[in-house]
Amino acid sequence: KAGVTQTPRYLIKTRGQQVTLSCSPISGHRSVSWYQQTPGQGLQFLFEYFSETQRNKGNFPGRFSGRQFSNSRSEMNVSTLELGDSALYLCASRPGEDTQYFGPGTRLTVL
Amino acid sequence: ELKVEQNPLFLSMQEGKNYTIYCNYSTTSDRLYWYRQDPGKSLESLFVLLSNGAVKQEGRLMASLDTKARLSTLHITAAVHDLSATYFCAVGNAGGTSYGKLTFGQGTILTVHP
């Protein structure tokens, strides 16, 4: 089975721009979660989607949003980028109540 | 607010030695996970612990869970260089929120040297 895929793998943007990151879960997994990883704050939960519905949202400003499509693929969007948004963004999928499997991540650099 | 704390945060070990990483969490949960991350890479699942007293072993790593003490341990036996990585514990479904929301510890950077 193919693993979780994320595109793009690397991204450079400037302050004020917006960005969209994409995640394709493992086939058959309907739950997708997003995390932000930074050296200062560690791994922080952004949001979780299941069957196109947002189930949980972490403590991030409204500039961070996401959605899930009927094929379980998910996108997250960050508007009005700030320098502090530079991070590794990880997507994870899971089959029901089981372990989350993480993708390779998208490394976003904001200049 | 759920807090997950690991210690130590940095661990420098000699090959062949044993050591334990501790993970304390502050809220009732029925899932405790251990992940490994190599530099510049994503997270690799090591163990999921589901119940009090659960113990799982894979190679030189053994994880255990004490839900009453809200404590999990990751024990390393006879360390080898290949185990050098960052290890994270994570709590799932804390307070019955969701299995899709993990709260991570700060991570333990393990370096194994000759």
B99/A43 CB distance under 8 A: no
B43/A102 CB distance under 8 A: yes
Q: What is the Cα–Cα distance from A100 to A74, expressed in whole angstroms?
A: 15
Confidence label for A71 from pLDDT (cuts 50, 70 and 90): very high
The whole-number pLDDT of residue B95 equals 67
Q: What is the Cα–Cα distance from A3 to A28, expressed in whole angstroms?
A: 11
Lowest mean pLDDT among A96-100, B21-25, B75-79: A96-100
How many contacts, defined by CB atoms under 8 Å, are there between A and B? 61
- Burial state string for A18-45 with b = 16 or more CB within 10 A and e = fewer than 16: ebebebbbbeebebbbbbbbeeeeebbb
Sequence length of chain A is 111
pLDDT at residue B96 is higher than 70: no
A50/B88 CB distance under 8 A: no
A50/B100 CB distance under 8 A: yes
For B101, which of A32, A56, A104 is closest by C-beta distance? A56
Report the chain B residue with the minimal C-alpha distance to residue A30: B100
The 8-class DSSP code of residue B27 comes to S
Measured between beta carbons, the chain A residues lying within 8 angstroms of B107 are 42-43
Q: How far is B85 from chain A (nearest CA, A)?
A: 15
Measured between beta carbons, the chain A residues lying within 8 angstroms of B97 are 56
Which of B3, B43, B89 is the best residue to mutate to test the A interface, defined by the most A CB atoms within 10 Å of its own CB? B43
Peptide bond before residue A8 is cis, with ω within 30 degrees of 0: yes
The whole-number pLDDT of residue B93 equals 73
- Closest by CA to B42, choosing from A90, A111, A6, is A90
A97/B99 CB distance under 8 A: yes
Six-digit token string for B71: 């404590």
pLDDT at residue B20 is higher than 70: yes
The whole-number pLDDT of residue A98 equals 74
The whole-number pLDDT of residue A6 equals 97
Determine the average pLDDT of the residues in A3-24.
97
User: What pLDDT digit, counting tens, does each position of B26-65 carry?
Assistant: 988 878 999 999 998 999 999 999 888 889 999 999 999 9
